[in-house]
Structure 1
């Protein structure tokens, strides 16, 4: 039995490669398997065992279990013991970028621990069962951080805050630390920092936890986690060898598909500013046991300067028929004539290796140039530090564009150039859209090569105004940074 929620996955539209986070599309699998076999099954049939990132995901998980054909008591999720004990904030999107430990803290012990703030604003490690007051995080509205004087354990304090649609406070700066100290009335209080060894099977960095009371108890060989649905889905650490039902995440490949592809062309001469262009590509129709791939066919269409009017488009209609469901996706192509314009694309959200599932409307500024990705070798490092927007403008004025990395070969060339940078990171021509939650290259660049650092890219959580950079040293992977930071950058140049 499957519970489906809205999903956006990696997909390609009109030459753009978009990277989005994994959705909370959960599948209750009513087979009995041990943890490792369950994980292998999910990776083969879907994406991975389920990762639960927040309360909303938790609610989806419980709803999916309630919709199963049989009663689900316990089911494996994708949480397992890792090799390293790490500190996390309770709010999943908060990273540990600021700390204010008092001297001698934190302690170097591989055991469950929680953090508290003393009367001077310094943090110290404590047994999570100790009793003290606590500070809950503000809800983002009129209510700021608030102090609760009830003396309770760390987990009971967290449950109290969650009951108020909040969580224990996360501290990201000295200013927030000072605010928490003031609201706590200079008492020792719990804050939302905890240490544990747990990691998600898919490599996600989410710190969300929803344990049963008294769990995890870390008994011998209890290195895997199940959701206990008779207890509201709360989690229990268990021995991995036990055979249980389990929860997968991600989109399932279709077991059999029949594909019908048609191309329609609409031409209009009613608009004052139009031109005719030929859009050419090859039609390839491949039917396999699990996937169907369809590419666009040749067509001629009239394009206007503002390519959001329906008559000036070429529409690709793809119909995917399965034994139970028919999916229809429409792709609307448009070509711009001005330097920068807004394309409106109506296209199926096509997960990599699967068929179309949904229809999404996207509007985002794009460049008119549709040249292929930068040839390896035609690169120049600019050892001046600029914002991302300034860097892109510089590259387009003096060279071609900020570099796009679409293959491993280009990655290696860019990494070699970046070693000579005078900044710790180097701007790339990749940008994040917070409206639609995906990464895209700034030109219509084909290819979906990725080299994100752990916790970045599809695994990251970002505000608006974030753009991509490569590490100048170390692993030289990609990270998301505020576009206002000033960094060196690499331009692609036109071939000689």
Structure 2
């Protein structure tokens, strides 16, 4: 096979890292460029600078890039005017129920609360109020603790959801009856995505954005858990592109193998969790174009999900939960998370066969036919993920479950207490025993 191994090596060390997420592809370009230079590069070589649509994608990006660079541009930039968004991605602002004098005609960031009459009003996002977390099944969760809007959002996200979106008069009545003056997920900001996407997802660091003069562009700060900062656009940084790689038509490299002159015209690669396949288009001397394909193991800096016929299960951090506790109380999935986080660390996650065996042994003593574990289904991405997530591939779904199953929004994961003790998806409102993990000793 006439393939230049040096060329493959250059591909891996050239500053390109690839992650495939569903139909999207993220590419970390480890070259230092200004925001505008980065955007131009991404549009020439891929589609555009990266747009982040949800928390699952943000976690994937953190796990891909962390350790490779401290910060990188994404495609969020300052717009000409402020726009209203729901914090929960995928929801549009169609229904509203403003109180007289609202929304206010000003050019300031704002967050929205609901009064006891169901009327909406703008408020300083730093004010402290109770709040409601969204549930796909309609059983929204009221939290009486008073927090700022951003802290309330973080609390809901820790439960793998977000602040509530109100999409109808009926839903507004339900939320307003929970209390008076409570935060909902509506906010106003002046940011837009380079590719024109209407994604409402934001992941700001504390006290960001601070809107200092010239700080009109956004970076991910990987040393700060992937949170975002607004920074001055001329700064030179690494950046993240999205979309398919545009195969170049110009000569990439000319080399000699033995007595034969080989001119590489273009290359195309596809990535899986196991390997990277590189297809070379080349000529031998001045003969017609040849095509050669080689597959090599995935190497440092290359990470991907399997193709859409078998999507990746997002597994948690690599630490093994050695101290497992079966709690023989019948709670909903959200109540179980709250209990585990208050008394231990979290609901158990299963990242290896060894952990599966330990969890299965605990589950045998349950008083319910299934036992909650830390799996959740998102109908927006049609993806199962662990609530403490990083990339991983271990799965133990029962037949017709997992990616073979059909679920309503708000489904969550459980393990069978008996039999083969595989995983199933159930409505999060069911009340089951659950397994927490804590610190050893």
**How high is the TM-score relative to the length of structure 2?**
0.55
Instruction: List gaps (5 residues or longer) in structure 1.
Output: 9-21, 259-286, 293-318, 329-356, 362-433, 437-462, 464-496
CA–CA distance in structure 2, aligned partners of residues 435 and 215 of structure 1: 28
CA–CA distance in structure 1, aligned partners of residues 241 and 148 of structure 2: 33
Query: Does the CA contact (< 8 Å) of 2:32 and 2:236 recur in 1?
Result: yes
Distance change (3 Å), C-alpha of 1:35 and 1:42: same
Tell me the matched-pair count: 265
Partner SS, residue 53 of structure 2:
coil
1:154 aligns with 2:121: no
Instruction: Summarize deviations over 1:43-62 as a string: whole Å, max 9, x none.
Output: 11111111000011101211
Partner SS, residue 60 of structure 2:
helix
CA–CA distance in structure 1, aligned partners of residues 76 and 294 of structure 2: 33
Match of 1:326 among 283, 286, 293: 293
Query: Does the CA contact (< 8 Å) of 2:111 and 2:188 recur in 1?
Result: yes
Distance change (3 Å), C-alpha of 1:222 and 1:435: closer
Match of 2:165 among 161, 170, 182: 170
CA–CA distance in structure 1, aligned partners of residues 153 and 141 of structure 2: 13
Residue 49 (structure 1) aligns with:
49
CA–CA distance in structure 2, aligned partners of residues 180 and 155 of structure 1: 19
Where do residues 444-459 of structure 1 align in structure 2 (5 Å cutoff)?
Answer: none
Instruction: List gaps (5 residues or longer) in structure 2.
Output: 1-14, 252-262, 269-277, 283-290, 296-304, 310-379, 383-407, 409-441
Where do residues 171-186 of structure 1 align in structure 2 (5 Å cutoff)?
Answer: 171-182=166-177, 184-185=178-179
Query: Does the CA contact (< 8 Å) of 2:17 and 2:29 recur in 1?
Result: no
Query: Does the CA contact (< 8 Å) of 2:125 and 2:148 recur in 1?
Result: yes
Measured after TM superposition, the shift of residue 166 of structure 1 is 1.0
Instruction: Summarize deviations over 1:426-483 as a string: whole Å, max 9, x none.
Output: xxxxxxxx999xxxxxxxxxxxxxxxxxxxxxxxxxx9xxxxxxxxxxxxxxxxxxxx
Residue 101 (structure 1) aligns with:
98
CA–CA distance in structure 2, aligned partners of residues 139 and 164 of structure 1: 13
Query: Does the CA contact (< 8 Å) of 1:117 and 1:124 recur in 2?
Result: yes
Moved over 6 A (4+): 322-325, 357-361
**How high is the TM-score relative to the length of structure 1?**
0.49
Residue 61 (structure 2) aligns with:
61
Distance change (3 Å), C-alpha of 1:197 and 1:162: same
CA–CA distance in structure 2, aligned partners of residues 359 and 54 of structure 1: 20
Query: Does the CA contact (< 8 Å) of 1:134 and 1:189 recur in 2?
Result: yes
CA–CA distance in structure 1, aligned partners of residues 173 and 120 of structure 2: 12
Residue 188 (structure 2) aligns with:
195
Match of 2:233 among 236, 240, 256: 240
Measured after TM superposition, the shift of residue 3 of structure 1 is 4.1
Instruction: Summarize deviations over 1:335-365 as a string: whole Å, max 9, x none.
Output: xxxxxxxxxxxxxxxxxxxxxx99877xxxx
Q: Considering only aligned residues, what root-mean-square deviation do their CA atoms show, in Å?
A: 3.4
Query: Does the CA contact (< 8 Å) of 1:257 and 1:321 recur in 2?
Result: no
Instruction: Summarize deviations over 1:227-276 as a string: whole Å, max 9, x none.
Output: 00001111001111111111111121234799xxxxxxxxxxxxxxxxxx
Measured after TM superposition, the shift of residue 169 of structure 1 is 0.2
CA–CA distance in structure 1, aligned partners of residues 165 and 33 of structure 2: 38
